[in-house]
Amino acid sequence: MPHSRRQIDAEIRAALREIQSLENATVKDALQMLSRLRERVVLAIAEAGPFTQVVAQEVKNRVATIIQEFDSNLKDKMTENQRRMFTRGIKLVDRAVDAADLIKAVPYLDETALKTAQAFTADLITNLTDDMRGKITSQIQLGVLGQKSATDIIKEVGRNLAGPSVFGTIRRRSEIIVRTEVNRVQALATEARLKQLKARVPDLKQEWLHSGLGQPPRQNHVDMNGVQVAIGEKFHLRAKEGDKVYLITGPYDPTLPVGETVNCRCVAIPVVGRFEKKSSENT
């Protein structure tokens, strides 16, 4: 016999907590890796001594090696956690239909979308580390020209991950990439699972849920909170400015501009028509 609506809602809330926990853990891992990178780069500069052209080239080579290690490690970590988030995106749907006692066996979900997202993320990380390397190299070159001391260079590169420094900027960009891309994978997996189960659960819908996270929240996303559509139908998201309306499958739809997806924490949650619920119960 199907469970109560309260039990189904509880399963969805538990799945959302798991998604948020993995998102936060992934960000924490990335920033710890970035902090270690900063320490190694600063040490390489501090140990260099007077910046002759030869010394500067040695430092740049050393820094390039350190950054390449970071690039590789961050890509590995993101690949691993995006796969885990892909599974959580599937479970967000499965836990709801399981609690409703609707489906006993769920088919395999193709991972093509996951692999595409992972490749896209790898490109973003490459762009990030290339930019980082270029900015640090420029600071070292100023030392060769006698315009900056090692102390000045270290200050510009970053004594920590905060403030107006190279690493201050990289930290913000890194967090945006990590949060956006792990959540993109969750959205892709949830959307694909919902479409996959549509024929077996005809009254299956999806509901836009605003997380309440992020400062300031996007008002147009807040306005979408609680909006429901049938699987296969489009959400109508009004642009932040102007009268344009995006017809989309949900948060992180690939047709959305960057400004509508960066750091977005919205999710589409499953709703079984016979167990209707208000999204406000889950916020």
- Domain-embedded: residue 268: no
Beta-bridged to residue 272, according to DSSP, are: 204
> Range of 116's domain?
5-202
Q: Which residues lie across from 56 on neighbouring strands?
A: none
Tally the domains of the chain. 1
Q: Is residue 258 part of a domain?
A: no
Please report whether residue 217 resides in a domain: no
Q: What's the pLDDT score for residue 282? A: 40
Instruction: Read off the pTM.
Output: 0.88
Q: pLDDT tens per residue, the chain (283 residues)?
A: 445 677 888 889 999 999 999 999 999 999 999 999 999 999 999 998 788 889 999 999 999 999 999 999 999 999 999 999 999 999 999 888 887 776 656 678 889 999 999 999 999 999 999 999 999 999 999 988 887 888 999 999 999 998 889 999 999 999 999 999 999 999 999 999 999 888 888 888 999 999 877 667 889 999 999 999 999 899 999 998 778 999 999 999 989 999 899 888 899 999 876 655 443 344 3
Query: Is residue 128 situated within a structural domain?
Result: yes
Q: Is residue 247 part of a domain?
A: no
- Radius of gyration (C-alpha) of the chain in whole angstroms: 23
For residue 98, tell me if it sits in a domain.
Answer: yes
CATH number of the domain residue 10 falls in? 1.20.120
Rounded to the nearest 5°, which phi and psi values hold at 245? Answer: -125, 125
